[in-house]
Amino acid sequence: MKKSVIKLFRRIKAFAYLKTSQFSTAKIQPISTQNKAVNTNSVRKTPAFTVYLLERRINCMTVPAIVEAVQKACTESKKITVANTNIHSFNLSMQLPWFYDFLQSSEIVNCDSVGILKAINYMGLNLPLDYRASYTLLMPKILENCNCNKFSVFLLGAKPQILQAALENLRVQYPHVSFAGHHGFFDKEDPKANQAVIEQINQVKPNILLVGMGMPMQEYWVKKHRSKLNVNAILLGGAIIDRMAGVVPDCPSFMSDIGLEWFYRLWREPKRLAARYLLGNPAFVLHIILAKFYANSLRVELMQSMDNSNLEGNVDYKDFFVASSN
């Protein structure tokens, strides 16, 4: 623990001396967002666009937009990876180069945290809560859509008994969805064990693979094996299978809506999550503060079409920006 803390704060200290030029790229034209706010009354539709927070790509998409993207991948027999960004994953991307690469290579990296929205706000772009697509909000809509379209879903993760409970619950709630699964307690470094799991998934040929192994294990496993997986959409859901089984309750909305889900989870699991939140949250705040003074502001760009590994918004996101009155 002590070594991890020292290593983390060394990275924070080093970050203060990064030059602005290290965050620029010739291929993407930055759009200044300083002293801007979202004008939610200017247009009716909420556009999909991409922001780069310390060069970490975040696809600002609403829950309906993500559901539509997943459905499109399933109906058009494409393969996409839907990752997500919260404060924990942001910190991991600062510490683990392979984790950063994984997020950058995923077709969708949606915002899963009010804390991330607040950081973007602090950097000059005030986004509405509509752009937080937590799995508490996202998964019911994904599964409703699967039920309407008779898609198949494979769950990978959790303990065997918890996985079984989740499958039983889901089959009752969504009778038109074909569910299957495999627990997450296998040797991730054993080629034979991995191959057996991959063969089971490919035998089912699910439209959606939901991986719930926790960060960063689930990202590591998907990064290593996604090219072998015969699925249309890979979603990374952390403890989502435990929630589906009723083992882990969802955070009350009045807490999650104001960014206190971390406090709720810490209260429930203090031993497991103390380091993540009591060290990780302050580290994230320091990164953002330093970035405000030593790096470029947010870069924003309209999402490209799915054929170019992204999605396209229906409305020009520039219509959302108005001068801040503050």
pLDDT in tens, 18-31: 333 333 332 323 33
Whole-number Å distance between alpha carbons of 109 and 102 = 10
The confidence band for 295, taking pLDDT boundaries of 50, 70 and 90, is low
The answer to the question of residue 308 being in a domain is no
The confidence band for 305, taking pLDDT boundaries of 50, 70 and 90, is low
Residue 90's pLDDT is 95
Percent of the chain with pLDDT over 70: 78
The confidence band for 253, taking pLDDT boundaries of 50, 70 and 90, is confident
The answer to the question of residue 31 being in a domain is no
pLDDT averaged over every residue in the chain: 82
Residue 35's pLDDT is 32
Is residue 291 pLDDT above 90, yes or no? no
The confidence band for 276, taking pLDDT boundaries of 50, 70 and 90, is confident
Domain that holds residue 187: 37-299
The answer to the question of residue 97 being in a domain is yes
Is residue 59 pLDDT above 50, yes or no? yes
The confidence band for 324, taking pLDDT boundaries of 50, 70 and 90, is very low
User: How many angstroms from the chain centroid is the CA of residue 205?
Assistant: 24
Residue 25, amino acid: T
For range 25-50, the mean pLDDT:
45
Q: What are the pLDDT digits (tens) for 194-222?
A: 999 999 999 999 999 999 999 999 999 99
Is residue 309 pLDDT above 90, yes or no? no
Q: Which two tokens stand for residue 121?
A: 């706000």
Is residue 280 pLDDT above 60, yes or no? yes
The answer to the question of residue 265 being in a domain is yes
The answer to the question of residue 186 being in a domain is yes
Residue 251's pLDDT is 80
Q: Which two tokens stand for residue 207?
A: 């439209």
This prediction has a pTM of 0.80
Q: Which residue has the higher pLDDT, 261 or 139?
A: 139
Select from 116, 49, 66 the least CA-distant residue to 235: 66
The answer to the question of residue 108 being in a domain is yes
Non-local CB neighbours of 112 within 8 Å, separated by 6+ positions = 84, 85, 86, 89, 132, 133, 134, 135
Residue 251, phi then psi, degrees to nearest 5: -70, 135
Name the domain count of the chain: 1
Residue 68's pLDDT is 96
Contact 230, 255 (CB under 8 A): no
The answer to the question of residue 310 being in a domain is no
Residue 23's pLDDT is 33
Strand runs labelled E in the chain: 36-38, 49-53, 56-60, 80-85, 108-111, 125-126, 152-157, 178-182, 208-212, 233-236, 299-302, 321-323
Residue 184's pLDDT is 95
Q: Which residue has the higher pLDDT, 248 or 187?
A: 187
Residue 45's pLDDT is 60
Whole-number Å distance between alpha carbons of 101 and 134 = 22
Residue 32's pLDDT is 37
Contact 71, 149 (CB under 8 A): yes
State the DSSP string of 259-310.
T-HHHHHHHH-HHHHHIIIIIHHHHHHHHHHHHHHHS---EEEE---GGGTS
The answer to the question of residue 43 being in a domain is yes
Q: Which two tokens stand for residue 324?
A: 């801040």
Cβ burial of 210 (10 Å; 0-12, 13-18, 19+) is buried
The confidence band for 313, taking pLDDT boundaries of 50, 70 and 90, is very low
The confidence band for 141, taking pLDDT boundaries of 50, 70 and 90, is very high
The confidence band for 249, taking pLDDT boundaries of 50, 70 and 90, is confident
